[in-house]
A and B are shown apart, each in its own frame.
Chain A
Amino acid sequence: MAKVLMKGNEAIAEAAIRSGCRHYFGYPITPQTEIAEYMAKRMPKIGGVCLQAESEIAAINMVLGASSAGVRVMTSSSSPGISLKSEGISYMVGSDLPALILNVQRGGPGLGGIQPAQSDYYQATKANGHGDLHLIVLAPNSIQEAADYTSLAFELGDKYRVPVMMLADGALGQMMEPVEFKEVAETALPEKPWATTGTECKRKKNIINSLFIKPDELEVSVNERFDRYAEIEKNETRVEEYMTDDADIVIVSYGITSRICKTAITLARKEGLKVGMVRPITLWPYPSEALAKVAKTAKEFLVVELNKGQMTGDVKLAIECSRPVSFYGRTGGMMPTPEEILEELRKIGGRIE
Chain B
Amino acid sequence: MKMVKSTLAVLTTAAVLGVSGFAQAGATLDAVKKKGFVQCGISDGLPGFSYADAKGNYLGIDVDVCRAVAAAVFGDASKVKYSPLTAKERFTALQSGEVDMLSRNTTWTSSRDAAMGLNFTGVTYYDGQGFLVNKKLGVSSAKELDGATVCIQAGTTTELNLADYFRANGLKYTPITYDTSDESAKSLESGRCDVLTSDQSQLYAQRIKLAAPDDYVVLPEVISKEPLGPAVRQGDEEWFDIVRWSLLAQLNAEELGITSANVEEMAKSTKNPDVARLLGAEGDFGKDLKLPKDWAVKIIKQVGNYGEIFDRNVGAGSELKIERGLNALWNKGGLQYAPPVR
Q: Do the two chains bind?
A: no
